[in-house]
Structure 1
Amino acid sequence: MEPKIQEKVWDPKLESNIRKKWEDSKLYEFHSDTDGYTIDTPPPYPSGRPWHIGAAAHYAQIDMIARTARMNGKNVYFPIGIDRNGLPVELYTEKKHGIRMRETERGKFLDLCKDALDDLEAEMIQIMKNLGLSCDFDNYYRTDSEEYRALTQATFIELWKNDSIYLATRPNNYDWVTGTTIADAEIIYEELPTKLVHMKFKVKDGEEVIIASTRPELLCACKAVIVNPEDVRYTDLVGKKVIVPISNQEVEIQAHHSAQIVFGSGAVMVCSYGDHNDVALFRELDLEEVIAIGQDGRLTEAAGAYAGLKPKQARTKIIEDLESKGLVEKIEEISHRTPISERSRTPIEIIPMEEYYLKQKGSVEKMRELGAQIKFYPEMHRQILMNWLDSIKIDWPISRRRYYGTEIPIWYCKKCSEPYLPEPGKYYQPWYLECPAKKCPKCGFTEFVGEERTFDTWMDSSVSPLFITKFKKDEEFFKRTYPTAVRPQAKDIVRTWLYYTLLRCENLTGEKPWSEAWIMGYGLDEKGLKMSKSKGNALDPLPIIEKFGADTFRFWSASEVNHGNDFRCSEQKIESTKKFLTKLWNVSRFLSSFPIVESADLADTDKWIISELDKLVKDCKAGFDEYNFFIPAIAIREFTWNIFAAQYIEMAKARAYGIGFSDAERDGAIYTLHKVLSTLLKLLAPITPYITDFLWQTLYSDKSIHTEQQAKEESNEDLTQHTQAISDFNSKVWNEKKEKGLHLPDSIKIEIPKELEIFKKDLVAMHHLEI
C-alpha cells in the first residue's frame, strides 16, 4: 500500500505555507462578543539585534499556553505588543548615529529613535511569526504609540488627583554623564579593580581605629562609624567620638548589625551617599546628610580643597594626602563589585534628586494579600515577589531625565509654580506643546513652563493589562477580558514588571490584574552563564529557526528543562531534538498507508496500548494544567519512541497488514494505530503546531488540528501493568536472535511468559515464534 504522506522527511520549509493558511483563515481570531481568556503577554523590547535564543524560547512557550487554552475550549485573547520606550533604544540610537542624546535637538533625537525601532521591530515580528505564535499580529500595539502613552498619562493624572503621587527630593541612582536618575534595572555590575584603603581615625582619648574603605573621597560626607555589636574588638569604643581624617569632623562610633566583622577592619564609615546601604543607614540612624558629589559628577564645596575634582581624581589626591600625614595603615588592591550605568558605562553615584514618587509603602500589605491570591507557576517563584515586598522601604521614583519615554503631563505656572494637569484622554508633550490652560487657576498668570521629564518605563509597562483590555475606552470589551487570566514573564522582572503592574492595576481598578503568573527561568549559554548582548554570548534565534524549523526549536524549548528553572542553550541541543520529529514523521508516514477505520473490536494488544495512551493523556493533562510543557514533551517522546513505535507497532504490524489475521482483527489494529497517532498529534499540537497540523490535515480532517478539543482519557481497562513484561520479552527475543546470528524475520523458539498469553497471537506473528 502506498503511503498517503509522500514526503519522506518533514521539511521545515513547509512551515511558512502552513502559517499563511492560519493567517488567511483567521484561525486564532478572538471572539469579542463572549468572555475571553486573556494573556497579558510581555511586549518584547527591540534593542540592537532583537532577541536572543532564550527570549525566543520564552515566547514559544507563551504561545503553548495560548494553544493549550484554545484546545481546552477557551476563547483566547492573545494580544502582542512591542515595548518601545526608554534607555535601550536611546543607547542603540546614540551608537548607530555616533551622537549623544543631550547634545542633539530633542525632536530630532526622538525621530532617530523611532526610525531605529521600526527597523528592529520588523525583524522581531518576523521571528515571532516564524516561531508560530498564534497571537493577534494584525492589531499589535506599541508602547510608544500616542494611544498607549495617553493611557499612561491618564492613569498618572488619576493617581495625582487621588493624592497617590507627589514631588520630593530624595537620594536616587544618578548617571552623571547623561544627567538622569536611573532605575535599578538600568544598572549593571562589574568587578573592577580598586584600592581598599585602611585609614587611621583618631579616637578622642588618643586611641586609633582602622577603617577600611574603597571611597576615601567621601570622607567629608562621613557622619558615623559603625561596628558589629558582636565584634569584641570594638565593644569598649561604642559611643565614643572619632575624628575623621582630612575633613576633621567628629562622628560617633555606633553598633550596627550591617557592619561585617570579616570585611576590612570591621569598622565602617557611613557616608552620604556612598551606596544604598549608606542611604538606609542615614535614615535609620537619623544622620545629617552631606552632598559630596553634585549633578556634574564632581565633588562639591563640602569637599573643601578637593571641590571640583571627579571622584576618581579626588580619590587619588586624598590617598596621597593621607599617606603624607601618616594616616594610612595599608592599601590593598582588590576587585570590587561596582554599579555601572548601562548607558554611559560609568560608575553611578547616589545623590539627592527632585523626582516624582508614586506611593507604595502603604500598599505593601495589600500587595502581599493579592500576591497570595495569585497562582504562581511554578510556586517557588512566588517568593521573589514576597522578598521584594519585604524590601520596600521608600516610595517608587517614577520620573526620569531622558527623552524617549512617555512625558509627565504637567505644566507649572511661571509665577507661583502651581502645577496644572490637563484632562486625561490625549497624549501630551509639555516640553513641546503650549499649556492647554489659558491662565493659572491659582494666581491667574498666563505663562507656563512644561515638565521636561519622562516616566520610568515601568509606568508604561505596568498598565499593559489595562491597555489590551481597553480600560476607559470600551466598557463591554473590558468586562469580557479583565481581569486577565495569566501573566507570563521571566523571573528577573518579577520585582519590577509583575509587582508594578499589581500595584498600579489595584490602585486603578481595585482588583488584581490576573489570577495566574507563569514565570520562566533564564536562558543560559553552554557554560551556564546568563546570555546577554553585552557579554556577546547571546545566540541569534532567527538563523537557527530557519535552519531547523520552528517545531524543532519549540520542542527543544519544551523538553530542555522543567518549567521555571534556568536552561542552557546550544545549537547542538536544538539539532538533536530534530530526531524526535523525524521519528514522529516516520511513524505517521507508515500509518498513512492504512485506511481510516471508524470503529472496530479491539484485541488485548490494542487495549493495552490504549490504556498506556490514557496514562499518557493523564500525565500530559497534569503538565498542561500547570503550563509546564516539559512534562508532556518528555512523556510524549518517551511514549512515542519506546512504547508506541518500539513495542506496539511491531506487535500489531502483521495484524494491520492482515497477514494471518481476520479482517476484523486487522481493523482492530488499524483503528488503534490511528487512534494513538491522532491522539499524539493533539497532545503535541500546542508544542509543535506546524508538523501536527500538516499531519492532521493530511490524515484526519480538512480542518486545522488547532480547532480540535484536547484529547481526554477514554479507556476503562488498565493493562499498563504488562508494559514492562512486554518490553522485557521483546528485548529478550531480539537479543537471542542477535546472539544466534538470526535476522528479525527468522523464526525462533521461545516460550511466551504466562503473563503475556493474552498477547500471544501478536507476539507470535511479530517474532515468528515457533509454537
Structure 2
Amino acid sequence: MKKHYEHQEIEAQMQALWKELNIYKFDPDSKAPIYSIDTPPPTVSGSLHIGHIFSYAQGEMIARYKRMRGYNIFYPFGFDDNGLPTERLVERESQILAKDLTRSEFTLKCIDTTQKYESEFKALWQSLGFSVDWTLQYETINPTSQRISQRSFIDLYEKGKAYHKDSPVLWCTECQTSIAQAELESTEKSTLFNTIIFKTTEGEALEIATTRPELLYATTALFIHPDDRRHAKHIGKTAIVPLYNYEIPIIADETVQIEKGSGIVMCATFGDITDLEWYEKYDLPYRKVIMNDGTISPETPFIGGLPLKRGRQLIITLLKENGLLTNSDNIKHHVSVHERCGTPIEIIPSKQWYIDILTEKDRFLKAADQINWYPAHMKKRYLNWVENLKWDWCISRQRYFGVPFPVWYCEACGEPKLADESQLPVNPLESNPISPCTCGCNTFIPETAVLDTWATSSVTPQINALWGEKSKRIRPDQTSAELTLQRDPLMPMSMRTQAHEIIRTWAFYTIVKSLYHTGEIPWKDIMICGFVLAKKGEKISKSKNNATLSPQALIQTHSADVIRYWAATAKLGTDTFFSEDELGSAKRFINKLWNASKFSISHLGDFSLENEMKLLPVDKWIIERCKETMLLAQKHLDQYELGLARHEIDLLFWRDFCDYYLEIVKERLYKPEKHGVPERAGAQYALYISLLMMLKLYAIFTPHITEYIYQIFYKDREQFEALHQMKWCEITLLKDKYLIFGDTLKTAIAEVRRYKSENALSMKSEIDEVIIGSPSEIQDLFFESKMDIIACCNTKRLIVNSRPITL
C-alpha cells in the first residue's frame, strides 16, 4: 500500500471496476427478496449543491446496506425535467421568455438544456459512487413517463376523481399560472395597514383597516363578529363603498377577528382565502379587479390598467384627497407567496383541472398508519398537512414545457374528450381524437394547459414499475415467495427517501395517486432526511445564493468518501450545518483507516488459514466486538439511522481496534520467537477477520477506500471479485465472556496510560507492576493473556485478583 490514500486516482478506478463487474444491476431472475427504492428525481432547475448530496447520499447508503444484507436491490434514478422550474432555468440561461416563442420552439430549447444538466447530475452521482442501476433511469418528460402520467389522469377522470371546474384558483401573476395549495409559502412582508372610512346608507361612519386598498372596487360585503358590542348594531344594514359609491351588505360572521383593526372587515374578490370562503358561503357577487398578469382590470375606475403596486398607491392618494383615509401604519404581516418565485399569490377565477382530495381526507389520514415513518415524528407533519387541506389539488398549469393533458373539448357541446390508450403519449395540439364526441360532433378544441410537474412525479412508483405498460420489469413466470405476495413485486415499493419539506407535496401526492390507482400505499417505509443549513435556520439553496461550494469541487479536493462520511453524521431527519471545516473529522478517518489497514496488511503477507494458530482471548474479543458492532449497526440501519450506526462502527474502529487491539498484539506480531508462532498466527487470523468485517461495515459509508483495500489484499483470498458483492455476517449469538474480558482489559490499560501521562512518563516506559481486578468467571482469560498485557503495558509484573502472574 502507498504511503497516502490518493483519492482522485483510486475513486475513479473503483467506479470503473463496479461498472465493469455490473454489480449494481437489478436482477429480475433472482430469487432473493426485492428491496426497491423510490428516489426523488432531482428537479432540473440549476446546479446541485451540498444539501442535495446530504440527503441523496443517505438514501444511497441504505441501498448499499440492504444489498450487503442479501436483498436484490431495485434502485432506479430519475430526473424531474418538466414544468415551471425547468422553464424558468431555460428562460434565465437563454435570456428569453417562453411566451415569446412557439411551444415547439421553446420545448426544443428546454430539452437541450435538460439533457446538459442531466448529464452533469448523473456524472456527479457517479463520482460519489452511487450504486444505482442506470439502466432503470427515467425522465419525467420521456415518452414512457408521459404515457404513464397521461394514463394516470385518464384513470382518475374515469373514476370521478379528476374534474374540470371554472372557479377561483390560487394564481401566480409572475409565472402566470394556477398553482396548488402545497406550492404556497408564508413569508413576512412590510406593508401599509390603511384605515378607510365607509358609511352606512344612514350616514354612520365605519372604519375598516386593510392592506389591499386597490381591491376597494372588488368589495362585496362588510363583516362583523356577532358578539362585537361596538358594531353589532350595524349588522343587517347596508354600507356604501368609498370612491365608487355602490351599496354592499353588512353581514355577521363568527370568523371575524374582533381585535384586528377596527373589528369590521371588508370582503373583496379576492384579497385572501377568507374572502373566498365568504364569497362561497354567502353567495356574494364577483367583481373583477386583478388580472392574470398582475395588472388592474381596465374596467376598474381610477386605476384600471395599472400594475398592482401603482394602483395601490394611487387609490391611497385618492382616499387621502377625499378625506376617506384616517390612518396608514407600517406593519409586518405574513403573506402567502409562490414557493417558486416568491410572488404574493392572488385568487382569480379560472377554468382548471383538479383532483378531488377533500372528500377522501380520512382515507389519506388512515394511509399514514399503514406506512412506517422514519423518524416517526415526521408522520405528524403529514397528518397536520392533510387535516388542514382547504383546496382540491389543482393540476393544470398555463405553461409550455410539461406533460400535455390528453384532452380535447367538443366544439358543439363542450364536453371533454379523452385520448384513447392507443394514442398515449399524445399532444392534443398536434393530433385529434380517434372517435367522434358522444353528441356526434367530430370537431374538437385541444386543451392547451399542461399537467403540474407534481402530477407526474407523484407517479414515480408507477413509472418505476411500468404501471399499465406492456413490458414489465419482472417476468410473470417467476415464482419466488416474495413475488407471489402481491400483484406487482415492485408495488408497493420498499422505501421512499426524501427531504422533509416535500412531505406536503411529493409524499402526499404520491400517496393520493397510489391509493386512487391501486388501492395500496406506494411504499412500506418512508425515510425523511434533514436539511443542510448555511447558518442558523437558513437552508442551503440556489435561490438564497448560499451554495457557494460546488459538490464537484468538494469531491475533487477532499474525495467522495470524505463527503459521504460527513453526510452520515446527523441523526435522521435533523438539519445540520455545513462548512468546509466540517470535513476535517472525515479526512482524519480516511487517513486512519488507510494507515490501520496498511499496518494490518503488512503483517498478513505470510498468513494462511492452513497455518497452525492459537487464538488468545484478546483475539477472540476483537472478533466478538466486530460481531456485536455489526448487530448494533444493523439495528440502527433497519431504522434508517445512519448516523447512529456509523457512531457504533467508529467506536469499534477508533477505540477498540486502533487504540487497543493493535497496541495489544503489536509485539506478538513482531516477535513470534518470544510469543510463539501459533500465537502470532492467531493474531493474524483476528486481524484478517476483524479488518475484513470493518471494511464491510464501512463499505456503505465509504465505498471507494474500502473496496480498494479489499482489492489489493482480500480479493485473491476471498471468493468475491468485489467487497460490495459480499454480505454482512448472520450473527445469532455473542460470546459475552470475551466482551466482558475486553471491557475489563481496556479499563486496565487506560489506567496504565493515565498513570504514565500524569507522571510525565513515555508510553514506552517500563513500570513495576499492573494490578487488575477481574470478575472471577473471566480471570483465566487474563492468565492466558499475560504476555500480551505485559508487553502492552511494559510492566515487570502483572497481578490479577491478588495473584501474581509471571512469564
Alignment of 1:415-430 (within 5 A): 415-430=412-427
Contact 2:185 2:338 in 1 (8 A): yes
State the Cα distance separating 1:588 from its structure 2 match: 0.8
How many residue pairs align between the two structures? 763
Q: Which deviates more from structure 2 when the two are superposed, residues 408-417 or residues 714-723? A: 714-723
Asked if residue 594 in structure 1 is aligned to residue 627 in structure 2, the reply is no
State the Cα distance separating 1:592 from its structure 2 match: 0.3
Contact 1:195 1:331 in 2 (8 A): yes
AA in 2 matched with 1:765: A
1:655 aligns with 668
1:457 aligns with 453
State the Cα distance separating 1:429 from its structure 2 match: 4.7
1:399 aligns with 396
AA in 2 matched with 1:276: I
Contact 1:611 1:718 in 2 (8 A): no
AA in 2 matched with 1:545: I
Alignment of 1:216-227 (within 5 A): 216-226=213-223
Asked if residue 540 in structure 1 is aligned to residue 550 in structure 2, the reply is yes
**Distance verdict in 2 for CA 1:124–1:450, change over 3 Å:** same
1:211 aligned to 194, 200, 208, which one? Answer: 208
State the Cα distance separating 1:178 from its structure 2 match: 4.7
Asked if residue 555 in structure 1 is aligned to residue 574 in structure 2, the reply is no
AA in 2 matched with 1:716: K
AA in 2 matched with 1:762: D
2:725 aligns with 707
1:634 aligned to 647, 652, 666, which one? Answer: 647
Q: Whole-Å Cα distance in 2 between the matches of residues 765 and 664 of structure 1?
A: 17
Contact 2:37 2:75 in 1 (8 A): yes
Contact 2:51 2:541 in 1 (8 A): no
Contact 2:236 2:249 in 1 (8 A): no
AA in 2 matched with 1:463: V
State the Cα distance separating 1:679 from its structure 2 match: 1.4
State the Cα distance separating 1:447 from its structure 2 match: 2.7
1:48 aligned to 38, 46, 49, which one? Answer: 46
For structure 1, which runs of at least 5 residues remain unmatched after alignment? none
AA in 1 matched with 2:578: C
Identity of aligned residues (%): 33
Alignment of 1:293-692 (within 5 A): 293-300=290-297, 303-341=300-338, 346-437=343-434, 439-444=436-441, 446-473=442-469, 474=471, 476-477=474-475, 479-538=488-547, 539-559=549-569, 561-595=570-604, 596=607, 598=609, 600-658=613-671, 660-692=674-706
Query: Residues 624-681 of structure 1, C-alpha deviation per residue, up to 9 Å, x if partnerless?
Result: 1111110111121222112221122212222233453122322222222222221111
Query: Residues 584-616 of structure 1, C-alpha deviation per residue, up to 9 Å, x if partnerless?
Result: 111111100122454854323233333433332
Q: Give RMSD over aligned pairs.
A: 2.6
Query: Residues 376-419 of structure 1, C-alpha deviation per residue, up to 9 Å, x if partnerless?
Result: 11111111221121122332211111000000111223233233
Asked if residue 763 in structure 1 is aligned to residue 789 in structure 2, the reply is yes
Contact 2:531 2:574 in 1 (8 A): yes
Contact 1:102 1:178 in 2 (8 A): no
Contact 2:182 2:504 in 1 (8 A): no
| Equivalent position SS for 2:41 | coil
Contact 2:40 2:78 in 1 (8 A): yes
Query: Residues 65-117 of structure 1, C-alpha deviation per residue, up to 9 Å, x if partnerless?
Result: 11111111111111111111101111111112221111111111110111111
Q: Whole-Å Cα distance in 2 between the matches of residues 398 and 310 of structure 1?
A: 28
For structure 2, which runs of at least 5 residues remain unmatched after alignment? 476-486, 798-807
State the Cα distance separating 1:500 from its structure 2 match: 1.2
Q: Whole-Å Cα distance in 1 between the matches of residues 648 and 447 of structure 2?
A: 58
Alignment of 1:176-215 (within 5 A): 176-184=173-181, 191-202=188-199, 208-215=205-212
AA in 2 matched with 1:254: A
Query: Residues 705-737 of structure 1, C-alpha deviation per residue, up to 9 Å, x if partnerless?
Result: 111111344532244445665444333323433
Asked if residue 162 in structure 1 is aligned to residue 159 in structure 2, the reply is yes
AA in 2 matched with 1:664: P
**Distance verdict in 2 for CA 1:272–1:547, change over 3 Å:** same
Asked if residue 11 in structure 1 is aligned to residue 4 in structure 2, the reply is no
TM-score (normalised: structure 1): 0.93
Q: Whole-Å Cα distance in 2 between the matches of residues 643 and 267 of structure 1?
A: 72
1:733 aligns with 752
Query: Residues 246-297 of structure 1, C-alpha deviation per residue, up to 9 Å, x if partnerless?
Result: 3443332534346273x54454333221123332343445544333323343
| Equivalent position SS for 1:21 | helix
Contact 1:430 1:452 in 2 (8 A): no
TM-score (normalised: structure 2): 0.89
State the Cα distance separating 1:23 from its structure 2 match: 0.5
Query: Residues 448-506 of structure 1, C-alpha deviation per residue, up to 9 Å, x if partnerless?
Result: 22111100111111111111112122355572322211111111111111111111122
AA in 2 matched with 1:466: Q
Contact 1:358 1:397 in 2 (8 A): yes
Q: Whole-Å Cα distance in 1 between the matches of residues 389 and 11 of structure 2?
A: 48
Contact 1:752 1:760 in 2 (8 A): no
Q: Whole-Å Cα distance in 1 between the matches of residues 256 and 19 of structure 2?
A: 59
Contact 2:429 2:447 in 1 (8 A): no
| Equivalent position SS for 1:479 | coil
**Distance verdict in 2 for CA 1:64–1:417, change over 3 Å:** same
Q: Whole-Å Cα distance in 2 between the matches of residues 320 and 751 of structure 1?
A: 92
2:765 aligns with 746
Contact 1:13 1:549 in 2 (8 A): no
**Distance verdict in 2 for CA 1:687–1:277, change over 3 Å:** farther
Alignment of 1:12-27 (within 5 A): 12-27=8-23
AA in 2 matched with 1:251: P
Q: Whole-Å Cα distance in 1 between the matches of residues 748 and 8 of structure 2?
A: 38
